[in-house]
Amino acid sequence: MKKALKIVGIFVLVVLVILIAAPLVFETQIENFVKKTINNNVNARVESSDIDLSLFRSFPQATVVLSDVSVINNEPFEGDTLALSEEVLLEMSIGELFKGSDEPKSIDEFRFNNAFVNIKVDSLGNANYDIAIEDTTTTASTDTASTGFSLDLEHYEINNSRLKYADEGAKIFLDVEELNHQGTGDFSLDQSELDTETSALVSFELDSVNYLSRNTVALDAVIQMDLEEMKYSFLENQALINQLPLTFDGYVDVNDDNNEINLTFKTPSSEFKNFLQVIPETYAKNIEEVQTSGDFIVNGKINGIVDEEHIPMMDIQVSSSNASFKYPDLPKAVQDINLDLKVLNETGLVDDTYITFDNVSFRIDEDRFAANGSVRNLMENMLINMTVDGTINLANIEQAYPLNMDLDLNGILTADLTASFDMNSIENEQYQNVNSKGTASIRNFRYKSPEIPNEVQIANAQMNFNQGTVRVPELKLTTGQTDITASGNIENLMGFLFTDQVLKGNFQVNSNTFAISDFKVAETEETATEEVETTSEENTPATTGEEAIKIPSFLDVELGFKANRVLYDDLELRNATGTLILRDETATLQNVTTNIFGGSIALNGNVSTKNPTPTFQMDLNLNKLNIAQSFNQMDLLQGLAPIANALEGELQTNLNLRGNLNNDFTPDLSTLAGTALAQILTAEVDPAKMPLLARLDQQLSFIDLNDINLDNLKTNLTFDNGMVEIEPFNFDVKGINVQVGGSHGFDMNMNYNVKLDVPARYLGSEVGGALGQLSGENIQNMTVALPIDLTGSFSNPQVNLNMQQAITNLTQKVAQNQKEKLQQKGIDAINDILTGKRNQGRENTQDSTKVDTTANPAAPKPEKQVEQAAKNILGGILKNAQTKKKDTTGS
């Protein structure tokens, strides 16, 4: 017994060693085999991060796992991703591992996990999935060997995957998300049954018309497979579209030249509840508890061939008669529901497919609404004919149907109109080909949403349809503090409703009060959420919590406006008039004028919200604005000229500005650039209101800044990157000329140069006498140039009196004056000689000009005397800087 157990133990151990060692032996062989198979059969770049062979995962089967598989196209789709898969799993008999490298290996089961397949067909008909290498061999044995893998499947799965299909030529877009599909059968037999289960979210668009949007689709189907004849028959089948059940049967026959389809489907019951089940589940909750009456029937037949010229013939009917439904938690019911919708094609030609909808009607309380019409020539130039007639109380909609939207709608909508047009005319804006007539109106409309700050109310709005133009005789709207009365024309309402055209029109708008804050909305941004199964990204909106003004991208309108009062933050503009053009997410202002701060503003420019950061460009003409009011309430003007805070008076200026805007449409000063020509018309200065002026007032004893005369002062400014450059300008302070130039930042740091030309008469009689003795004459009209450097900030200024430069300037000036006088005396002496007056008065002349340096050889030279005198003079100027000023003119 012990010996038997020992033998069994040894056998088990050997088996385990084989199972553990086998992957090491066969893994390289499998990897080379997979690469060879791909290279022989696929014209694309196929890559995998890892290939793993396991004998334990599905014992007694061998399992090959390919991780992070990608298929990248070559020309004509160079670089495009055809497919990605996080994991591809193949199962086969262990015996397949022992086959030679030239023998095909039979796969029993495969799985794709978290895959993404991106199929494209371009406008020329090229398909990116056409990557199979054409087989030019002739012998059957070679064909078999070149196959690599053969499918003797018993089971397959596609889990948590996504399929996208886009055909540019046919204008078809299909997106299948959250795809889970599995099938069980025996593909080794010529005839067998395949049992399948499928679920997905399906979006479908045809010629820019969306028919399905992430609709839930489920299919349980048993398919009879005849692999020899390539015919697939549906035996026991049930599908769910959203929650609408459909049963169907028929077959698909795959031929060499075409495919033959013969399918019929219908709803298993005729309850009207089936209609509610078509609606996406988000908007149709608790269907089981809804009370319904009447019927809802879907019957369809699709049969015919599919090739390059034909599609199957169709006869699909959706109907309902005298139906109703009522949700138990809502007070009102929707009654008298009638529906007769048909999708028909009787020839198998694409152009002959058309849709009719007759007697589409319903009633809520006493309000009835009805529509009928047809859509023909679906695949080419669609021809649309429709009639709408009825009245809807918007408040009744939420009382009869659970919209589950944070909206509060009220108002009476009435329509009586007919329209017929073709889509080519709409797309080419040939509105003369649009035949429309009738009226539509809304009254007592109220709309409330968390996205807007105030309820929007429309007392009355009427639209008169005539050809392609819609006339709006009058629209009265109020929201918050804002009131608007408008009239005008809409040029392309049909193009806006039925295609992706922007809404075009022109209106005249009048307002007594227009508050910008009434139109701020909660800003949203696109947040990328990663989809694990597709390794792609999908953007979903997320509220940032900030408020921003966004110019709608769907508007192309011109508005002539007149507003008695416009409220913009803390500003109040009066009598605003001009033209506003909204186009391409940009607001263009033309010939706009308004009254503010006791004066007026004229402006032209634009504001754009096309990019994430709003931008603006403006030309402004400010005329006779009150300096104190405008600079106290406008950050822009405070940044351009902070010193104006200490001024009382009027100014005018021309500004050319550009830069970025904050969310509240105020300028971002750090991005501001442009130029300005500013002129102060009248102004009085209060140095106490500005630390810079107060500091200057303290350090200059001979000047009183209360005496500044800034009337008619002009200067040019340039600004960029948060800096303001001031072109040098001059003004007068009681006979003293002052020149100022330099720059400052919007952060209030500054770097200015000030030069004062101080007349000698302001220096006092003592200083004036010293100058007179030095120069030999009375120089009360001589000026002293005093440079001052201003740095630091406007709130904490640093005042630097450039004494050395002032001494140098004064020294050079006095010396030059003496030199000129000596030169003039020499010229006079020469003239005397030439006129015979050489000796007359020689002694007097010599005595008056002679400088005796022999008595005291150590006496300073004239240049040193001048410099010393200059120092004494400037010391006299500033000696009383810390005391209160007094009149030193000597007058």
- Please report which confidence band the pLDDT of residue 763 belongs to, taking 50, 70 and 90 as the band edges: low
In a domain, 72, yes or no: yes
Over range 263-284, report the average pLDDT.
77
Are residue 780 and residue 878 in the same domain, yes or no? yes
In a domain, 534, yes or no: no
Residue-range definition of the domain harbouring residue 58: 49-134+142-241
Contact at 8 Å (CB) between 780 and 768? yes
Flag whether pLDDT at 303 surpasses 90: yes
Contact at 8 Å (CB) between 238 and 217? no
Over range 840-845, report the average pLDDT.
48
Report the amino acid identity of residue 467: Q
**Cis peptide bond upstream of 857, omega within 30:** no
How confident is the model at residue 691, as a pLDDT? 76
Could you please report the per-residue DSSP string of 174-224?
A: EEEEEEEEEEE--TTSSEEEEEEEEEEEEEEEETTEEEEEEEEEEEEEEEE
How confident is the model at residue 114, as a pLDDT? 93
Over range 516-537, report the average pLDDT.
51
Report the amino acid identity of residue 307: D
Contact at 8 Å (CB) between 643 and 662? no
Over range 79-90, report the average pLDDT.
87
**Residue among 604, 493, 602 nearest 557 (CA):** 493
CA-to-CA distance for 624 and 601, rounded, in angstroms?
A: 9
Flag whether pLDDT at 17 surpasses 60: no
The DSSP 8-state label assigned to residue 502 in this structure reads P
How confident is the model at residue 199, as a pLDDT? 92
Contact at 8 Å (CB) between 468 and 477? no
**pTM to 2 decimals?**
0.58
Flag whether pLDDT at 535 surpasses 60: no
Span of 57-71, 123-137, 696-710, 875-889 with lowest mean pLDDT: 875-889
| 535 φ/ψ angles, rounded to the nearest 5 degrees | 50, 25
Over range 29-41, report the average pLDDT.
65
Residue 30 is inside which H or E element, if any?
helix 2-41
In a domain, 58, yes or no: yes
CA-to-CA distance for 215 and 242, rounded, in angstroms?
A: 6
Flag whether pLDDT at 776 surpasses 60: no
Range among 539-548, 744-753, 804-813 with highest mean pLDDT value: 744-753
Span of 49-53, 215-219, 514-518, 858-862 with lowest mean pLDDT: 858-862
List, in order, residues 6 or more apart from 9 with CB less than 8 Å away.
none
Are residue 354 and residue 470 in the same domain, yes or no? no
Contact at 8 Å (CB) between 505 and 495? no
User: Exposed e or buried b for every residue in 125-156, given b needs 16+ CB within 10 A?
Assistant: eeebbebeeeeeeeeeeeeebeebbeeebeeb
Helices (H), 136-180: 140-147
Flag whether pLDDT at 329 surpasses 80: yes
Contact at 8 Å (CB) between 505 and 468? no
Report the amino acid identity of residue 398: E
How confident is the model at residue 97, as a pLDDT? 63
CA-to-CA distance for 770 and 776, rounded, in angstroms?
A: 10
Flag whether pLDDT at 103 surpasses 80: no
User: What is the rounded (10 degree) CA torsion for 804, 809, 815, 821?
Assistant: -160
In a domain, 543, yes or no: no
Contact at 8 Å (CB) between 348 and 361? no
Over range 126-147, report the average pLDDT.
60
Are residue 709 and residue 768 in the same domain, yes or no? no
In a domain, 286, yes or no: yes
Contact at 8 Å (CB) between 701 and 878? yes
In a domain, 810, yes or no: yes
CA-to-CA distance for 306 and 417, rounded, in angstroms?
A: 40
**Cis peptide bond upstream of 614, omega within 30:** no
Over range 139-157, report the average pLDDT.
56
Q: How far is CA 379 from the centre of its chain?
A: 33
Flag whether pLDDT at 138 surpasses 60: no
The DSSP 8-state label assigned to residue 582 in this structure reads E
CA-to-CA distance for 483 and 384, rounded, in angstroms?
A: 38
Per-residue pLDDT reduced to its tens digit, 422-479: 888 877 877 777 888 889 998 898 887 766 778 888 888 888 988 778 898 988 889 8
Read off the tokens for 845.
Answer: 């002349």
Instruction: Answer with the one of 371, 393, 415 that is the final residue of a domain.
Output: 393
**Residue among 615, 586, 588, 618 nearest 602 (CA):** 618
Are residue 377 and residue 427 in the same domain, yes or no? no
With 0-12 / 13-18 / 19 or more C-beta atoms within 10 angstroms meaning exposed / middle / buried, residue 734 is middle
Flag whether pLDDT at 9 surpasses 50: no
Over range 799-804, report the average pLDDT.
75
| 376: alpha, beta or left? (left if phi > 0; alpha if psi -120 to 50) | beta
Q: In terms of pLDDT, which residue wins out, 708 or 533?
A: 708
Give the chain's mean pLDDT: 76
Span of 170-184, 431-445, 483-497, 791-805 with lowest mean pLDDT: 791-805
Flag whether pLDDT at 557 surpasses 50: yes
How confident is the model at residue 851, as a pLDDT? 42
Are residue 410 and residue 382 in the same domain, yes or no? no
How confident is the model at residue 529, as a pLDDT? 42
Q: How far is CA 670 from the centre of its chain?
A: 21
Are residue 513 and residue 591 in the same domain, yes or no? no
Over range 865-876, report the average pLDDT.
58
Report the amino acid identity of residue 228: E
Instruction: Answer with the one of 241, 264, 293 that is the final residue of a domain.
Output: 241
Cβ atoms within 10 Å of 363's Cβ, excluding its own: 17
Could you please report the per-residue DSSP string of 319-352?
A: EEEEEEEE-TTSS--EEEEEEEEEEEESSS-GGG
How confident is the model at residue 843, as a pLDDT? 47
Which residues of 666-761 form beta strands (DSSP E)? 673-685, 708-709, 713-720, 723-733, 736-745, 750-759
Are residue 85 and residue 149 in the same domain, yes or no? yes
Flag whether pLDDT at 365 surpasses 80: yes
Flag whether pLDDT at 622 surpasses 70: yes
CA-to-CA distance for 729 and 713, rounded, in angstroms?
A: 8
Q: For residue 548, give Cα distances in angstroms to 253, 442, 587.
A: 58, 29, 15
In a domain, 606, yes or no: yes
Read off the tokens for 80.
Answer: 């495009």
List, in order, residues 6 or more apart from 162 with CB less than 8 Å away.
115, 116, 117, 175, 176, 177, 178, 179, 531, 533, 534, 536
Are residue 578 and residue 666 in the same domain, yes or no? yes
Q: In terms of pLDDT, which residue wins out, 546 or 343?
A: 343
Flag whether pLDDT at 688 surpasses 60: yes
List, in order, residues 6 or more apart from 677 with CB less than 8 Å away.
653, 654, 714, 715, 716, 717
**Residue among 322, 323, 320, 327 nearest 291 (CA):** 327
In a domain, 641, yes or no: yes
Flag whether pLDDT at 317 surpasses 90: yes
The helix/strand count (H/E) of the chain reads as: 13, 40
| 547: alpha, beta or left? (left if phi > 0; alpha if psi -120 to 50) | beta
Could you please report the per-residue DSSP string of 84-110?
A: EEEEEEEEEEGGGGGS-TTS-EEEEEE
Contact at 8 Å (CB) between 82 and 67? no
Q: How far is CA 90 from the centre of its chain?
A: 46
Contact at 8 Å (CB) between 466 and 436? yes
Over range 52-58, report the average pLDDT.
67
The DSSP 8-state label assigned to residue 355 in this structure reads E
Which residues of 749-844 form beta strands (DSSP E)? 750-759, 783-792, 797-801
Cα distance from N-terminal residue to C-terminal residue, the chain: 141
Span of 89-98, 320-329, 498-507, 540-549 with lowest mean pLDDT: 540-549
| 438: alpha, beta or left? (left if phi > 0; alpha if psi -120 to 50) | left
With 0-12 / 13-18 / 19 or more C-beta atoms within 10 angstroms meaning exposed / middle / buried, residue 563 is buried
Instruction: Answer with the one of 211, 241, 271 that is the final residue of a domain.
Output: 241
Are residue 872 and residue 778 in the same domain, yes or no? yes
Total domains in the chain come to 5
How confident is the model at residue 105, as a pLDDT? 63
Q: How far is CA 828 from the centre of its chain?
A: 83
- Please report which confidence band the pLDDT of residue 43 belongs to, taking 50, 70 and 90 as the band edges: confident
Report the amino acid identity of residue 477: L
Q: In terms of pLDDT, which residue wins out, 556 or 769?
A: 556
Are residue 81 and residue 217 in the same domain, yes or no? yes
- Please report which confidence band the pLDDT of residue 229 belongs to, taking 50, 70 and 90 as the band edges: confident
CA-to-CA distance for 872 and 763, rounded, in angstroms?
A: 11
**Residue among 622, 457, 447, 453 nearest 548 (CA):** 453
Are residue 77 and residue 212 in the same domain, yes or no? yes
Read off the tokens for 763.
Answer: 């220096």
Are residue 276 and residue 368 in the same domain, yes or no? yes
